[in-house]
Amino acid sequence: MAIAVAPAARYGSDAQYRLFDLLTAPLRWEVLAVALELGIFDDLATPRTAGELAQQYVLDGEGTELLLNALVSLGVVGKQEGGYCVDGGFAPLLTSTSDVSMSSLLTYLGEVRHVSADNIIALLRDKQQVQTGPEMVRPEYWSRAVRGLRSFHHSIRNPIVMDILSGLPCWPDVKKLLDLGAGSESLAQDICAARPDIDTVIFDLPGVVDNLKRRIADDARIKLRGGDMNCDDLGTGYDLIWASMVFYYARDLTSVMGRIRRALRPGGVLISFHEELNDDRTAPEFHVLGRLHAELKSGPLSVERGCVRAAAAEAGFLNVQSFSLETPFGQMELVIGTA
Ligand SMILES: C[S@@+](CC[C@H](N)C(=O)[O-])C[C@H]1O[C@@H](n2cnc3c(N)ncnc32)[C@H](O)[C@@H]1O
């Protein structure tokens, strides 16, 4: 006689699902990080067997198959008749030689953002004793971060920024632009390529600017200015100032906004591009968690919703407007004001 079984379609509570998902989350990254570190994605542009890869990298055959199967479970690699190949959508992002490769960016961000439970506890107990981790309030940190920022800009951020800039009504009239706290020369170069009639000034901390000199030596349309936006001369006569993810380092945001307004020509435009947290500083998760390591080291950095807009208005900007954008690196807020 057949036994009647009537299983529920779904057992357990949402909270239980969430906790098991959180348990799995770090493994997703670790598996990806291993493949990036070994350089496996470059070899999976065409189908390869686990045995072939194991031999090439001098790895255990069974373990290599387990790793490749895990990559398939993540959805970044496909498996067909025993051959593994990077999924088409991920191939340009994960192979190191592609123009839009995110491989060095992901490794860089993994180092900056991820922190072990032991280190979090150590930071909570006495952060002065913890020697590792990103100290984003120290200028030396940014001198070392140029390479990572460049890969972020080149691979993923600049196409978004160029789309924003070229959609501005004032864009055709922009002739002089400042990239405030640029982090790399990459955006200035993309702007020069798209608009040879624009002169771009990069303002950043002196150590960062020193790092960029060699990269832009042969481009007369890009000028460098080293200094601290809180107190040093930003230059004058700009048609547009682009300020992206830099206001965390403003000692007094309204005062920095005033300096920016005076650096613009009358009618010139400020564009701020920053993530914004809710009033409780508990969302969006991407930014709250992504900043946890840096903020445990240096104290709260991220700006709260509305504070850029308020500081711009207080500093005398006109027509201050704010727009939320979805990007692969989290929700961002674009604040636009006219000098
Ligand atoms: C998070 S990075 C942002 C880089 C780039 N704007 C972007 O959106 O990816 C912060 C940048 O601000 C710069 N910075 C930090 N403090 C600064 C200050 N007081 N004056 C000018 N730039 C500063 C850093 O050197 C770094 O390039």
Measured in angstroms, how far is the CA atom of residue 149 from the centroid of ligand 1? 10
Pick the closest to residue 222 from 249, 246, 247, 196 (CA basis). Answer: 196
Closest atom, ligand 1, to C-alpha of 228: 20
Ligand 1 midpoint to CA 206 (Å):
11
Predicted ipTM beyond 0.90: yes
Å from CA of 223 to ligand 1 middle: 17
b/e sequence 13-50, b meaning 16+ C-beta within 10 Å: eeeeeeeeeeeeeeeeeebbeebbebebbbbbeeebbb
In ligand 1, the atom with minimum distance to the C-alpha of 152 is 9
pTM, to two decimals: 0.94
The closest-lying atom of ligand 1 relative to the alpha carbon of residue 249 is 16
Spell out, as residue ranges, where the chain has pLDDT lower than 70.
1
Ligand 1, pocket-test mutation among 138, 140, 142, 248, most atoms within 8 A of CB: 142
Number of neighbours of residue 298 by Cβ within 10 angstroms: 18
Give distance in angstroms: CA of 245 to centre of ligand 1.
7
Ligand 1, atom nearest to 230 Cα = 19
Number of H helices, E strands in the chain: 15, 12
Q: What is the distance in A from the centroid of ligand 1 to the CA of 233?
A: 16
- At 217 the pLDDT is 80
The beta strand positions in the chain, using DSSP E, are 48-49, 77-80, 83-86, 176-180, 199-204, 222-226, 238-244, 264-274, 276-277, 303-304, 318-327, 330-338
**pLDDT number for residue 1:** 67
Residue type, 126: D
pLDDT tens digits for range 291-310: 999 999 999 999 999 999 99
Residue 207, pLDDT score: 97
